[in-house]
């Protein structure tokens, strides 16, 4: 644990490859443990499971997300010569170990619930079965990928529940935590019920619809607000959203009306106006009234500014005349709960079930499955967590998504995952679809699993 | 603003290049605005400034970080043929605009405070002067890069203030928000006073010292805890940190003592034991006592588990015998404040100063400078925010770091930036070095700047 006082080596400012695919995007201890596993030939099958220990405050359910990126990572995981040379340069790894890493591949099986499925605390949602070094090594990036997208998809689902049928657009790129967070937040929020993103690279990578308007700087750069609106209309007659609050929102709305009259001859219509400040409900009402009086009832109102599910829900409750919410920072950082207590734990090694017993962090041993049963209205009644081999009523949630390192199926289109997520949310009891703290979790532990735990605890370590 | 109901195009799963260098890592509106700027030949010089509107709750100061990555971004910003082809495929951009993007370069000037400098709300810390389309386009990624590292460096500085001279290691990769967040959190936390990171890729890219131990899975995978310790010692005799809380922390400590005796003959020493659960102060005391009685006073104690500045400060106050803190998720997501209200605003266009007046989001106009004066003890007395051309007492904080698109100096080594940050923190009044809410900010606005604001407001828009 002691750290050297000096850097381990000169920094490599631009190592080959992208940071998101580097096998060195991991914790040092994964590699030090691998060294010991290889030396002692501890390469029997290990079973690890990913689960959430406790739901974050203000969450009644979670939406599984990030599986696609995880399977990509597992399928392409390789150490390049540059990676190996750098590891060697640290002086921490033996030649035998580095030789093994040169051939490192993920060759294991992965069982998972589907992306977009709802789940709760204390139930396994992903199981990895692979030789111990492989199953161990992938831990850090596996958690990194599943944690973040699940966090954002679950937050987005709450925004969707609050917004009803109104449109939701992800505006969060600028204050997301870095490049990958911005892109994966767009993906996860679309999956969780958003309609579009403002982030171009996310639109390119994931085929998500894009949306946007203009910034205050655009308005300021022109001599007058009306001049700015004209300039934008001339360039983008087919997708015309005007930001009307740079100086004064009612005057901005009046300018939009003025422009609409000018554009009439050319048959160009204003699609929407955006309000980004002040009392959004009051401003939306005032602006709606100005627009309606000018016979512009079809011009929509977009609002933005520090929005998340709570503000959206209040605006919906007050029946503010809003058509679309631009949701930014608080979505992309999951502001009310920027992290989840999720873990990836060893359940079994070489056929022997085990669990840790650290105070406050105990776990259930062995490989597990979740069986979900529904009530007569199609709502989730019970999630029974049991030993994988138990025969149980209900639908088994974990199914193979990767066998021997190969995906069992092509990735479903994102729109399909999103549709599945919307259907899954509809299976939640109504009390869990509320933003308020819902009823206790539907998760139960099977008697056979409890009995295995007692059995495991009787073994001396 | 209206969003299409279908994806704009088929997703491009693996576009060329890394997400963190893509010019499409931006908001749609930057490009729609550029289209209008080009069409109307609005290419005069624009001045934008980056600043924080309000300090996050629980922060008395901020540490500037992320400048290095921003300058890299500006110096290498290019649209590839693939980027342009994709933009064309969206049907949103005219050929003339795409031709301009093919030649797009950042050719402007950047003035900034140094990385590692302390700053406060309402003062400009970075100024961009460039033709309007360039200065506008870079907004989204500029904020994305400066926001996150400043957030983490500032949080890390608080951990350093709480920890005194004890060692701090970043363990946060797994629950950081994606790949880039993990890497930049390592960099920013080192800059803010951490000693090391567990993240290998960050060590490679930034030359940060690395540290780590073993996981609970490693212990569980062996038949007994002692067997696990032996196995690790055999493989890593020179960097031996044992995780002792998998089953029972006192028994774990006893096993560490047992191993220390076995290793004596081979002259191998245990460097540290790690405790990751329970009451860390009480556990550290019990373990310290077990180790001391066994004549292992030089074996250090590392603790981890949901730590951040508050818990570190409490453990230090209780004089818990702890040598090193592993700080994970709550550092890497800045848990108590995962975002800052920072913006990049147009201050001046074509020689004309301007400001927005949106309710609650007003700003000061024109190009600005900050002059800092110190008291007799070398503590910050006053930050005077004034017009750039004013002659003022005190040290001017903003200085050129890029001219005509070229950096004015080579990047300083990260260790040097870190040393500067530590010196800067020492210039804070002691009340601001406390974790508690400190005195009001030392920032004042010069009379000439106030007078410019009134002047600007008299112009009709």
Which of A6 and B440 is assigned the larger pLDDT? B440
Question: Would you call A178 and B175 a contact, using CB atoms and an 8 Å cutoff?
Answer: no
Find the mean pLDDT for residues B331-348.
97
The pLDDT of residue B5: 44
CB-CB neighbours of A382 under 10 Å: 14
Find the mean pLDDT for residues B349-354.
95
On whether both B81 and B181 belong to a single domain, the answer is no
In the predicted structure, residue B85 carries a pLDDT above the cut 80: yes
Question: Would you call B26 and A333 a contact, using CB atoms and an 8 Å cutoff?
Answer: no
Q: What domain count does chain B have?
A: 2
Domain assignment of residue A204, yes or no: no
On whether both B105 and B130 belong to a single domain, the answer is yes
The pLDDT of residue B439: 74
In this complex, the residue of B3, B24, B174 whose CB is nearest that of residue A140 is B174
On whether both A350 and A249 belong to a single domain, the answer is no
Top residue of B171, B174, B245 to mutate, by most chain A CBs within 10 Å, is B174
CB contacts, 8 Å: B276 with chain A: 358, 361
Cβ neighbours of residue A161 closer than 8 Å, sequence gap 6 or more = A193, A309, A425, A433, A434, A435
CA distance B403 to chain A (A): 22
In this complex, the residue of A19, A204, A334 whose CB is nearest that of residue B179 is A19
Q: What tokens were used for A160?
A: 């969707």
CB contacts, 8 Å: B56 with chain A: none
In chain A, whose CA is at the least distance from the CA of B195? A3
Domain assignment of residue A293, yes or no: yes
Question: Would you call A29 and B212 a contact, using CB atoms and an 8 Å cutoff?
Answer: yes
CB of A76 less than 8 A from some CB of B: no
In the predicted structure, residue B15 carries a pLDDT above the cut 80: no
In this complex, the residue of B19, B27, B239 whose CB is nearest that of residue A18 is B19
Domain assignment of residue A353, yes or no: yes
The pLDDT of residue A2: 42
On whether both B166 and B293 belong to a single domain, the answer is yes
Task: Mark which residues 262-321 of B lie under 8 Å from A by CB.
Answer: 271-272, 274, 276-278, 300, 302
State the 10-residue block means of pLDDT for chain A, 461 residues long: 48 73 96 97 98 95 98 97 96 95 98 98 97 98 98 98 97 98 98 98 97 94 96 94 96 98 95 97 98 98 97 96 98 98 96 82 89 97 97 96 96 96 97 87 95 88 71
Domain assignment of residue A407, yes or no: yes
Least Cα distance to B127 among B394, B348, B450, B410 occurs for B348
In this complex, the residue of A25, A195, A330 whose CB is nearest that of residue B179 is A25
Cβ neighbours of residue A219 closer than 8 Å, sequence gap 6 or more = A225, A228, A243, A246, A247, B356, B461
In the predicted structure, residue B4 carries a pLDDT above the cut 60: no
CA distance B335 to chain A (A): 6
At which of A268, A298, A328 does a domain end? Answer: A298
Residue A88: burial class (beta carbons within 10 Å; 0-12, 13-18, 19+): middle
On whether both B58 and B130 belong to a single domain, the answer is yes
On whether both A375 and A434 belong to a single domain, the answer is yes
Domain assignment of residue A331, yes or no: no
**Domain span holding position B268:** 160-332
What is the CATH classification number for the domain harbouring B170? 3.20.20.70
CB of A215 less than 8 A from some CB of B: yes
Q: Measured between alpha carbons, how far is B222 from A87 in angstroms, rounded to an integer?
A: 26
Please give the DSSP secondary-structure letter assigned to residue A433: G
Q: Measured between alpha carbons, how far is A282 from A284 in angstroms, rounded to an integer?
A: 5
In this complex, the residue of B200, B248, B359 whose CB is nearest that of residue A278 is B359
On whether both B307 and B363 belong to a single domain, the answer is no
**Please, what is the Cα angle at B35 between B29 and B40, to 5 degrees?**
130
CA distance A375 to chain B (A): 33
In chain B, whose CA is at the least distance from the CA of A21? B179
Output the pTM of the full model. Answer: 0.96
CB contacts, 8 Å: B33 with chain A: 214-215, 217-218, 232
Top residue of B50, B200, B416, B460 to mutate, by most chain A CBs within 10 Å, is B200
CB of B47 less than 8 A from some CB of A: no
On whether both B290 and B439 belong to a single domain, the answer is no
Say if residues A358 and B278 touch (Cβ distance below 8 Å): yes
On whether both B100 and B206 belong to a single domain, the answer is no
Task: Mark which residues 366-405 of A lie under 8 Å from B by CB.
Answer: none
* Pairs across A and B, CB distance < 8 A: 466
At which of B316, B332, B348 does a domain end? Answer: B332
Q: Measured between alpha carbons, how far is A371 from B131 in angstroms, rounded to an integer?
A: 61
On whether both B169 and B317 belong to a single domain, the answer is yes
In this complex, the residue of B46, B181, B224 whose CB is nearest that of residue A461 is B224
Question: Would you call A18 and B13 a contact, using CB atoms and an 8 Å cutoff?
Answer: no
The pLDDT of residue A19: 80
Domain assignment of residue B93, yes or no: yes
Domain assignment of residue B12, yes or no: no
Question: Would you call B86 and A204 a contact, using CB atoms and an 8 Å cutoff?
Answer: yes
The pLDDT of residue B335: 98
Going from the C-alpha of B318 to that of each of B281, B285, B308, B312, B330, the distances in angstroms are: 8, 11, 16, 10, 21
At which of B268, B303, B332 does a domain end? Answer: B332
On whether both B288 and B355 belong to a single domain, the answer is no
Q: List, for residues A336-392, the tens digit of each pLDDT value.
A: 999 999 999 999 999 999 887 776 767 899 999 999 999 999 999 999 999 999 999
CB contacts, 8 Å: A174 with chain B: 27, 139-141, 143-144, 147
Q: Measured between alpha carbons, how far is B276 from B323 in angstroms, rounded to an integer?
A: 14
CA distance A208 to chain B (A): 5
Question: Would you call B215 and A139 a contact, using CB atoms and an 8 Å cutoff?
Answer: yes
Phi-psi region of B232 (alpha: psi -120 to 50; beta: other; left: phi over 0): alpha
Task: Mark which residues 314-373 of A lie under 8 Å from B by CB.
Answer: 324, 329-330, 333-335, 338-340, 342, 345-346, 349, 354-361
CA distance A434 to chain B (A): 25
Q: Measured between alpha carbons, how far is B137 from B33 in angstroms, rounded to an integer?
A: 9
Question: Would you call A11 and B171 a contact, using CB atoms and an 8 Å cutoff?
Answer: no
CA distance A433 to chain B (A): 25
Find the mean pLDDT for residues B436-444.
87
In chain B, whose CA is at the least distance from the CA of A207? B11
Question: Would you call B11 and A204 a contact, using CB atoms and an 8 Å cutoff?
Answer: yes
CB of B174 less than 8 A from some CB of A: yes
Task: Mark which residues 78-117 of B lie under 8 Å from A by CB.
Answer: 86-87, 90, 92
Q: List, for residues B168-181, the tens digit of each pLDDT value.
A: 999 999 999 999 99
In chain B, whose CA is at the least distance from the CA of A4? B209
Phi-psi region of B10 (alpha: psi -120 to 50; beta: other; left: phi over 0): beta
CA distance A162 to chain B (A): 19
Task: Mark which residues 2-41 of A lie under 8 Å from B by CB.
Answer: 2-13, 15, 17-20, 22, 24-29, 31-33, 35-37, 39-40
On whether both A351 and A427 belong to a single domain, the answer is yes
Q: In which band, very low, low, confident or very high, does the pLDDT at B14 lie, cut at 50, 70 and 90? A: low
CB contacts, 8 Å: B46 with chain A: 217, 221
Q: Measured between alpha carbons, how far is B369 from B78 in angstroms, rounded to an integer?
A: 30
Question: Would you call A356 and B216 a contact, using CB atoms and an 8 Å cutoff?
Answer: yes
The pLDDT of residue B20: 84
Q: Measured between alpha carbons, how far is B266 from A173 in angstroms, rounded to an integer?
A: 55
Which of B407 and B10 is assigned the larger pLDDT? B407
Question: Would you call A278 and B148 a contact, using CB atoms and an 8 Å cutoff?
Answer: no
Find the mean pLDDT for residues B100-105.
98
Angle between helices B95-102 and B81-89 (to 10 degrees): 160
Say if residues A337 and A44 touch (Cβ distance below 8 Å): no
CA distance B373 to chain A (A): 31
What is the CATH classification number for the domain harbouring B125? 3.20.140.10
In this complex, the residue of B11, B139, B358 whose CB is nearest that of residue A207 is B11
In this complex, the residue of B48, B177, B222 whose CB is nearest that of residue A181 is B177
CB contacts, 8 Å: A215 with chain B: 29, 33, 136, 139
Start-to-end Cα distance in chain A: 24
Q: List, for residues B123-165, the tens digit of each pLDDT value.
A: 999 999 999 999 999 999 999 999 999 999 999 999 999 999 9
Domain assignment of residue B56, yes or no: yes
User: Mean pLDDT, chain B, as a whole number?
Assistant: 94
CB-CB neighbours of A44 under 10 Å: 14
CB of A126 less than 8 A from some CB of B: no
CB-CB neighbours of A84 under 10 Å: 17
How are beta strands A399-403 and A352-353 bridged, if at all? unpaired
């Amino acid at each position: 644990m002691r750290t050297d006082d000096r850097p381990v080596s000169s920094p490599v400012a631009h190592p080959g490859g992208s940071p998101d695919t580097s096998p060195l995007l991991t914790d040092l201890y994964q590699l030090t443990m691998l060294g010991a596993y290889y030396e002692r030939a501890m390469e029997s099958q290990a079973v690890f499971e990913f689960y959430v220990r406790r739901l974050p405050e203000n969450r009644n359910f979670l939406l599984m997300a990030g599986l696609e990126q995880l399977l990509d990572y597992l399928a392409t995981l390789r150490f390049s010569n540059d990676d190996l040379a750098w590891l060697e340069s640290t002086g921490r790894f033996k030649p035998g170990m580095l030789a093994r890493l040169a051939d490192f591949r993920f060759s294991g099986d992965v069982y998972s619930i589907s992306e977009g499925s709802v789940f709760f605390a204390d139930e396994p949602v992903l199981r990895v079965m692979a030789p111990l070094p492989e199953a161990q090594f992938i831990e850090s990036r596996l958690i990194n990928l599943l944690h973040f997208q699940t966090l954002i998809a679950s937050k987005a689902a709450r925004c969707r529940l609050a917004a009803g049928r109104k449109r939701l657009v992800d505006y969060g790129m600028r204050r997301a935590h870095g490049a990958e967070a911005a892109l994966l937040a767009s993906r996860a929020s679309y999956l969780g019920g958003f309609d579009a993103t403002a982030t171009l690279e996310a639109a390119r990578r994931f085929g998500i619809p894009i949306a946007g308007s203009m910034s205050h700087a655009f308005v300021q750069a022109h001599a007058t607000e009306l001049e700015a609106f004209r300039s934008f209309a001339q360039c983008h007659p087919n997708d015309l959203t005007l930001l009307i609050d740079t100086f004064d929102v009612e005057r901005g709305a009046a300018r939009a009306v003025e422009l609409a009259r000018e554009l009439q001859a050319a048959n160009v219509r204003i699609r929407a106006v955006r309000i980004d400040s002040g009392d959004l409900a009051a401003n939306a009402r005032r602006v709606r009234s100005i627009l309606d009086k000018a016979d512009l009832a079809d011009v929509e109102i977009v609002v933005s500014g520090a929005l998340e599910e709570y503000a959206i829900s209040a605006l919906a409750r007050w029946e503010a005349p809003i058509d679309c919410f631009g949701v930014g920072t608080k979505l992309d950082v999951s502001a009310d709960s920027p992290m989840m207590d999720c873990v990836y734990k060893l359940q079994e090694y070489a056929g022997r079930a085990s669990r840790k017993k650290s105070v406050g962090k105990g776990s259930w041993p062995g490989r597990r499955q979740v069986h979900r049963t529904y009530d007569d209205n199609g709502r989730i009644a019970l999630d029974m967590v049991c030993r994988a081999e138990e025969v149980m009523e209900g639908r088994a949630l974990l199914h193979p998504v990767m066998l021997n390192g190969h995906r069992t199926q092509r990735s479903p289109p994102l729109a399909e995952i999103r549709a599945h997520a919307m259907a899954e949310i509809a299976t939640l009891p109504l009390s869990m679809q509320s933003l308020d703290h819902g009823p206790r979790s539907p998760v139960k532990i099977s008697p056979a699993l409890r009995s295995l735990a007692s059995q495991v605890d009787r073994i001396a370590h």
